[in-house]
Amino acid sequence: MDRRRSRIRAGWVSALTLLGGGCYACGGAERADGGLGQTVATATATADAANPVSSATADDEAPPTDWREALRQHRWDQALKLLDELPKEQRNEPTIRLARGRAALAAGHHAQAVEALQELEAALPSVAGEIQAWYAQAAAVAGPHEAAAKLFSTSPKVQDQISAAKAYQRAGKLKTARKVVDKAIRQARQTRRHASEEQAHEVRATIAEAARDKAVAGTDWRWLVNHAKDPTRVRKAITGFARVGGRLSVPERVAALARSTSHDNLAATLTELDALADKHKTQAAVIAMGRAQALNQARDYAQALGAFDAAGALPTPHLAEIKYYAARCAARSGDVTGAIDRYAEIPRRFRKSGWAERAAYRRAELLLRTGRYTEAATAYARYSSRFGKSKWRARARYGRAMALLSCGKPAEAKTQFAALRKDATNRRFVASLRHLEGVAALRSGDQPTAKKLWLDLIGEQPLTWPALAAHARLKQLGHTPLPPVMPLPPTTAHTALPLTLPAAPALLHSVGLDAAAEGRLALMEQEAAARYPGRESEALCGLYGLLTGARRRYKVGSRAVSLEQLMRPPSTAERWTWTCVYPYPFPDLVRREEQRYGLPTGLVHAVMRQESAFQTTARSPVGARGLMQLMPATASRAAAEAGIDPPNDILRPDINIRLGAFYLAKLLDSFNGSVPLAVAAYNAGPQAVQSWVTDGDDRDVDVWVARIPYRETRHYVQRVLGNLSRYQWLAGGNGAVMPAPLQLPKETDIGDQAY
């Protein structure tokens, strides 16, 4: 192999590793981002890309008429249509073939992609790695399969080894496929990549079946039955194990069915469990427990409650666990009072069980949530006394302080918040505790202490949610002089960097392939930044700012910019630190949808930053997708309600942003314009937030946010509101920052069809 071929091969391996080359089943779109391109010669800009290049068409309902823009919006078929309309001689140009190949791959037209990309690296050596990665993904589906397998095999990535095995299987090379997938399983196990290990076991099972090796296939299918976390894969494994003559024990089958149950397959699961119960009378307790777990997994909490009660009536060593989950189902089905009573029974009856500790904590939590603050304070105190070494002890202390604050004992609450603040190490938590300590001081009549706490907080951690709430409190008290939410930034001399993308990223960027450009730039950051000595991080942020996507830019900023830099107003020379950590991807799309639905400026980006960290293809473990992390069912209902055609690709930025913006507007309307409530509902669901609003009588917004029962949602709301304040400050200074509301709305209405 000559030196040139060696360099191409090295680039191919790097491209596979970064671009997710093993995901050929998804059409190659796993890493696709949008963006607006420039020519290689003109890909320059200043370091501060606070106003990034456009990413939307002038007519927001019409498809783009430029193939580059179509690529940047992930409108793959539209891009292909526009590329096909080019003159024949232009279609044969290497850069056009590159764009056609990538678009065809993402659109699922694998044979077209193979044709466009075949041997193209000779004409475009600077992007040979990307070309070979995309060619392998396309050829793995359309052929030549063995060529794809050999390319995948050169990558050290587990996912690519799995793809190589699948391609070898399609090529009929079963022995080679088996050897490669064995290696992938070992590597996945060693690196603790459970999802990859699951996939590799499934691939090996199918290879073994094709080779008529029922023993190996059975071993892999059974491993998946007992260990896979993906519900679909569990169901497939149950069927596969039976197909090769395997027989699961009743406990194995019941456990697998229960943990892979969803709303869609619940009826079939219950039918199968009923059949097992009729056939295996001696396993009645195991099957009854499985039935309850299946209903709980499918979120049918009312039926699950009855099923857990039925399971608890049978002889079982798991009675404490059953009663605990029955209490949880009671709470989730709306019987909160019954749940509190059920939780109270468990510590009394099962004193030495670990479920006693959980039940005691959940009971205190429910008492706080439902406004029984005095009882909650007592319950938290008893929990801490009995389970002082619990991993939840800090949360219990916080819960008790919140209960004391709302039950008329603010002086005690102030003492608790001060003690918690002394022990806390997380700066966000410290800020929240300082603000709450101020609220407690105010309620206990100590206004000077409250003011001092709030003034210090505003000065040290401006534009955080606690600081915004503190500012609103001071304004309500008529404090003068009222400090600005952020001091005025100093004006300093600053020379903009003349940024130019390196050759390979610039080429990809020029044809609308910004995600690939971002990936290639990530592989050469040190080299690219070295051209700007003394301003390396600024340069990298600026270079990524030339691309429409913001995923890598945000990561670079998070690594390069300190928290201290974000806690002071940026000078002209430092403004890049803020725009790097708070970037504006797809600015025209976002602006259009915020205006369409009357959203506060910056809210979409504030949510996007927290939901997906600007990754267009983000997929959560529960199935949320895209920049705004929409669940497919939510996206479908939102589209129908908004009068939009059913979305066929909610990962596409324009679709994802529009539906996310519509849903935010719907939540704002449901919660009477309250941004904190709408943001909480975006994370936890409107039904949960509605119940939190109606339970309890402490109506201060800052206290309500601090009392949100779901810890994840509580942190989420505070961070999104902090994000929003910074986006607004960047857009218009202190005057653009929305003041924090102090009271919950008097009326909210989520309606009967909330989702």
d(C-alpha 336, C-alpha 688), whole Å: 13
CA dihedral (613, 618, 621, 623) positive or negative: positive
Name 632's Cβ contacts closer than 8 Å, sequence gap at least 6.
Answer: 623, 625, 650
* Sequence-ordered alpha helix ranges (H) in 50-171: 67-72, 76-84, 88-91, 94-107, 110-117, 128-142, 145-153, 158-170
Using DSSP's 3-state secondary structure scheme, residue 743 falls into strand
Q: Are 66 and 34 in contact (CB under 8 A)?
A: no
Q: Which two tokens stand for residue 118?
A: 């075949």
Question: Left (φ > 0), alpha (ψ -120 to 50) or beta: where does 26 sit?
Answer: alpha
Three-class SS state of 92: coil
Q: Is residue 611 annotated as a catalytic residue, yes or no? A: yes
Could you tell me which of 127, 121, 112, 178 has the C-alpha nearest to residue 149? Answer: 178
H or E, element range at 499: strand 499-500
Give the C-alpha separation, 686 to 752, whole Å.
11
Q: What angle do the packed helices 514-523 and 128-142 form, to 10 degrees?
A: 120
The sign of the CA dihedral 327, 333, 336, 341 is negative
- Quick check: helix, strand or coil at residue 529? helix
The residue type of 168 is Y
CA dihedral angle for residue 15, residue 16, residue 18, residue 19, rounded to 10 degrees: 90
Specify whether the CB–CB gap between 413 and 445 falls below 8 A: no
> Are 169 and 150 a contacting pair, CB within 8 Å?
no
H runs (alpha helix) in 211-353: 214-227, 231-243, 250-259, 266-279, 284-297, 301-312, 319-332, 336-349
Looking at 527, 611, 641, 712, which residue is catalytic? 611
- Catalytically active residues are 611
